[in-house]
Amino acid sequence: MMSRVSPASPESFYATVGGSETFRRLVDAFYAEVARDDVLRPMYPEEDLGPAAERLRTFLEQYWGGPTTYSEQRGHPRLRMRHHPYKVNPDARDRWLAHMRTALDTLDLPPLQHATLWDYLERAAHAMVNTFEE
């Protein structure tokens, strides 16, 4: 489900939290953690994590009411389908969440925005689990 609020709308979550700069900081901090993770790093086939970071950033920006760049470049998100080739088990989910929590905490968002973003990220991570095999 994508946000229906226009990027220009002052009511969008995207605008409220600081727009592109905030999401760029979140994603950069997240991928700095992923780069050092022996379970998650192999799930990213590109040698450079830049393309993955760009995809996540544009997805999050669009979801939260920012530019529609993600859909323009990649079509519908189809998150479960896009993650299907990777073994996303509870360990991978928990590592993803730990790195995302570290990244989110660097943003110093107001409590309501922090909780809103974390709630979404947590639900999304749980939805991506596609195996319980180790």
- Give, as one character, the DSSP assignment of residue 25: H
Residues 9-26 as b or e (16 or more Cβ within 10 Å = b) = eeebbbbbbebeebbbbb
The tokens for 107 are: 């943003």
Look up the CATH architecture of domain 15-128: Orthogonal Bundle (1.10)
Domain boundaries, the chain: 15-128
- Per-residue pLDDT tens, the chain, 134 aa: give them: 444 444 445 589 999 999 999 999 999 999 999 999 999 999 988 788 999 999 999 999 999 999 999 888 876 666 655 556 668 899 999 999 999 999 999 999 999 999 999 999 999 999 999 989 88
DSSP 85-112: TS---HHHHHHHHHHHHHHHHTT---HH
